Structure 1
Amino acid sequence: MVETMIDFMLGPFTAISDFYFEYQIIFNTLIVGFALYKIIFNKKKNKDESVS
């Protein structure tokens, strides 16, 4: 169902959605990993600033 909606919205750009669906595990892993990295290191940075 989601794939049908994306195909309808993208129209002639369906190659983009095909590429994403083929490699979505890699993309989603990178995005979640980057978000976790930012959360962990921002907490550490804020903790270091509050100590000084």
Structure 2
Amino acid sequence: MVNSLLDFMLGPFRAISQFYFEHQMILNTIVIGFAVYKIYTRSRKTESKSAS
């Protein structure tokens, strides 16, 4: 039943979701790594501004 609902709601984008589910560990690691990088660089900019 869930598959039929997903097919109806996503239509041709179902292939994209299938790709995501097959590779979700790699994709989620990239997204989380990018978020951590942005947080780290933002905190370093704040520290350098306060030190000046």
Aligned CA RMSD, in angstroms, stands at: 2.0
Matched pairs, number: 51
Q: Under a length normalisation based on structure 2, what TM-score does the superposition of the two structures give?
A: 0.80
Q: Under a length normalisation based on structure 1, what TM-score does the superposition of the two structures give?
A: 0.80
Q: Which residue of 2 aligns with 1:49?
A: 49
Q: Which has the higher contact order (CA 8 A, sep 6+)?
A: 1
Larger radius of gyration: 2
Offset at 1:7?
3.7
Offset at 1:6?
4.2
Unaligned stretches of 5+ residues in structure 1 = none
Unaligned stretches of 5+ residues in structure 2 = none
**Structure 1 stretches of 4+ moved >2 Å:** 3-9
